[in-house]
Amino acid sequence: MTTPLAQLLRLVPPPADAPLATDWADVERRLGHPLPADYKELADTYGHGRIDRHISLMVPEDTRAGQGLITRNDGYTEELEDRWDMHEEWPEEVTREAGTTLVVWADTKDAGDLTWLVRPGTSPEDWPVMVFIDDLTEWETYPLTATAFLAALLSGEIDSTILSSELTPPEHTFQPYPR
């Protein structure tokens, strides 16, 4: 178990019922690239659900139409690129280098998406987390894994100007979505 996951487990109790098993090799084949080990461990521990009724953690498949990791990422980067071209403002971290893409792994009820910035030749364990506001005019980048980001955010180590103050209760909860 990773240290960030151990910290997250202390902050947010996992669901009583274990999530369904995931065939990660099949998921990575369908997505077109590998996924960070910490995310797979996070998804295998918590499954699909919502932290503090605010952050929805995505898993590869789910019961809500269009909300799974694979479905949400189909054409995701191209959609963002079109919107940035329209606003004529791109995040400097997101280059137009072939193979650079964004992979959404969670979303929020008020801010937007939590993504990984994937660059060619970069290990999935080194993909930074980018948080976007819905209209894509603001973003924050964190050189952390998904699990380390969530643990730091929920422990108060990260003070995001984008994410809601609703994530600072003394006790955090995880509510799984129905299967």
Rg (CA), the chain: 15
pLDDT of residue 139: 83
Q: Residue 19 belongs to a domain with what CATH number?
A: 3.40.1580
What mean pLDDT comes out for the span 65-71? Answer: 73
Enclosing domain of residue 162: 3-176
Residues 162 and 111: beta-carbon distance below 8 Å? yes
Tell me if residue 156 falls in helix, strand or coil: coil
Per-position b or e across 33-56, b if 16+ CB within 10 A of its CB? ebbbebbbbbbbbbbbbbbbebbb
Structural element, H or E, at residue 152: helix 146-155
Confidence of residue 120 (pLDDT cuts 50, 70, 90): confident
The model carries a pTM of 0.87
Using the predicted structure, report yes or no on whether residue 174 has a pLDDT greater than 60. Answer: yes
